[in-house]
């Protein structure tokens, strides 16, 4: 059999060394600075209901709110349970 | 009320202002820039925040920083200041870690063991890392690596 460069040989993880020396940066280790925005999900209070309308005007008026996003802002529907709808 | 404490972190003596309720983990990560110890559970379950406090491995999330005034702390970053040590090399060679989130704590626990007991049995190793949770590779390659390095050190 030909001598391959990788096949049949042990390969070390490319990020192995940084993980065992504490150098690896995980998301919680990142500093996003004071401009980091926080998101809050508001769920329906009803277990099974039809959305007739969502009024976000009051929420948008709250101090510090940058943007209120609803399903209307995302044009696609996907997901396991969407076929029920 | 803020208090100034002095700790030696990885060989460097440093002063830091802490609140009485700051944990050592918070101070290391947020005030001293040592991001090696991770916040896994923040309640002493997982062991990924382990550091050596005066040579003893402790959970930095369960220790108040203010209690460590005057002590010496070694985190994963300072464990082998002259590049990766034999234990770390063997961990890498054996692909002992996958996501690596538990690696800082397990490496600290293993170093404490090997410092105190250079020829541990498999049971000793299992006992030493019993306070560290790993959710990916499982413990076998980690235990094998610690045993491998202890045998290697012995033959030197």
Per-residue pLDDT tens over the stretch B45-72: 999 999 999 999 999 999 999 999 999 9
Taking an 8 Å cut-off on Cβ atoms, the answer to whether B88 and A20 are in contact is yes
Query: Are B88 and A29 in contact (CB < 8 Å)?
Result: no
Q: How many CA atoms lie within 13 A of A56 on its CB side?
A: 12
Q: Read off the pLDDT band of A3 (50, 70, 90).
A: confident
The CATH 3.10.20.30 domain(s) of chain B lie at 3-78
A16 chain-B contacts, CB cut-off 8 A: 91-92, 95, 97, 100
pTM for this one? 0.81
pLDDT band at A79 (very low <50, low <70, confident <90, very high): confident
Return the CATH class of domain B86-155: mainly alpha
Give the pLDDT band (50/70/90) at residue B155.
Answer: low
Write out the H or E segment, with its range, that includes residue B124: helix B122-128
What's the rounded mean pLDDT across residues A59-83? 87
Give the chain A residue nearest B104 (alpha carbons). A22
Nearest C-alpha in A relative to B79: A21
The 10 Å Cβ neighbour count of residue B26 is: 20
Q: What is the mean pLDDT of residues B131-139?
A: 91
**CA of A15 vs chain B CAs: smallest distance (Å):** 9
Chain B's closest residue to A25, CA to CA, is B35
CB contact under 8 A, B91 and A13: no
Contact: B95, A17; criterion CB under 8 Å: no
- Can you tell me the ipTM of this complex? 0.86
Q: Which pair of structure tokens corresponds to residue B65?
A: 């920083």
CA distance B154 to A27: 39
Asked if B76 and B107 count as a contact pair (C-beta separation under 8 A), the reply is yes
- Alpha-carbon distance of B1 to B21, in angstroms, equals 10
Whether chain A has a CB inside 8 Å of the CB on B97: the answer is yes
| B79, B80, B95 member nearest A16 (Cβ) | B95
Provide the strand spans (E) within chain B.
Answer: 3-9, 12-18, 50-53, 56-59, 72-74
Other C-beta atoms closer than 10 Å to the C-beta of B34 total: 22
Architecture of domain B3-78: Roll (3.10)
How is residue B23 annotated by DSSP? B
Per the structure block, which two tokens stand in for B55? 């040579």
Q: How many CB pairs under 8 A join A and B?
A: 55
Residue with tokens 């709250």: A62
| Per-residue pLDDT at B54 | 96
- Does the CB of B26 have a partner CB in chain A at under 8 Å? no
Q: What is the mean pLDDT of residues A53-70?
A: 94
């Amino acid at each position: 059999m030909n001598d391959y460069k990788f096949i049949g040989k042990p390969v070390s993880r490319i990020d192995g060394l940084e993980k065992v020396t504490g150098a690896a940066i995980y998301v919680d280790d990142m500093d996003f600075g004071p401009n980091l925005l926080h998101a809050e999900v508001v769920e329906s209070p009803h277990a099974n209901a039809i959305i007739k309308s969502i009024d976000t005007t009051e929420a948008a008026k709250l101090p510090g709110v940058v943007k209120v996003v609803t399903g209307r802002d995302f044009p696609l529907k996907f997901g396991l349970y969407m076929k029920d709808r | 009320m803020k208090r100034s404490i002095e700790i030696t972190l990885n060989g460097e003596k440093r002063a830091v202002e802490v609140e009485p309720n700051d944990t050592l983990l918070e101070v290391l990560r947020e005030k001293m820039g040592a991001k090696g110890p991770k916040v896994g559970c923040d309640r002493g379950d997982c062991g990924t925040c382990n550091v050596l406090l005066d040579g003893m491995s402790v959970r930095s999330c369960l220790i108040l920083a203010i209690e460590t005034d005057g002590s010496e702390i070694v985190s994963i970053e300072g464990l082998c200041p002259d590049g990766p040590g034999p234990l770390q090399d063997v961990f890498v060679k054996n692909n002992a870690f996958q996501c690596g989130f538990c690696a800082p704590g397990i490496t600290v626990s293993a170093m404490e063991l090997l410092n105190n007991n250079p020829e541990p049995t498999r049971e000793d190793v299992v006992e030493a890392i019993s306070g560290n949770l790993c959710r990916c590779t499982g413990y076998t390659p980690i235990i094998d690596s610690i045993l491998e390095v202890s045998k290697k050190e012995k033959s030197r």
